[in-house]
Amino acid sequence: MPHKARPTRLPARRAVPQRHQCGGHSGGHCRFDAHHQIYFAGAQVKYVGRQFSTFMNDQAMPGYVDADMNFGYRAPKLWRARPELRLNLMNVGDNKYLSGPAGIAPSARATRGIYGTMIGATGTPTYYVAGGFAAMITASTGF
């Protein structure tokens, strides 16, 4: 009986799982994650549109874009633990922006009422200023 040659099977390359997500309520954000058995990385870009900071909507903070990145390494299992190192980069572009109102005012400008009387301005809102670029290294383990 003649011997049939079997096709040689090469080990398949494992694809790197990836996740891509876009959308959001406050404007928009996009996120990309790539995971491998040992290494992983991710990036997120977030857009936040103009936000009003008075009850009369007569003063607003401008919109902004923020970008974050992360990189990591999962060590091989040691005894029962699986150590992990992670580098997080926040506000990669070092953007300077107002991140939110700290104090809200009823109105920032004088307004004419429905019967013609002038309603005086009650003050100017105060704001939180976002932090600049920051890098953080963390070490953790899972059991």
> Tens of pLDDT along 65-86?
999 999 998 888 778 888 899 9
Given a cut of 70, is residue 53 above it in pLDDT? yes
Distance CA 117, CA 121 (A): 13
Given a cut of 60, is residue 113 above it in pLDDT? yes
pTM of the model: 0.62
Q: Parse the chain into domains and list their residue ranges.
A: 18-142
Distance CA 117, CA 45 (A): 46
Calculate mean pLDDT across residues 28-40.
Answer: 65
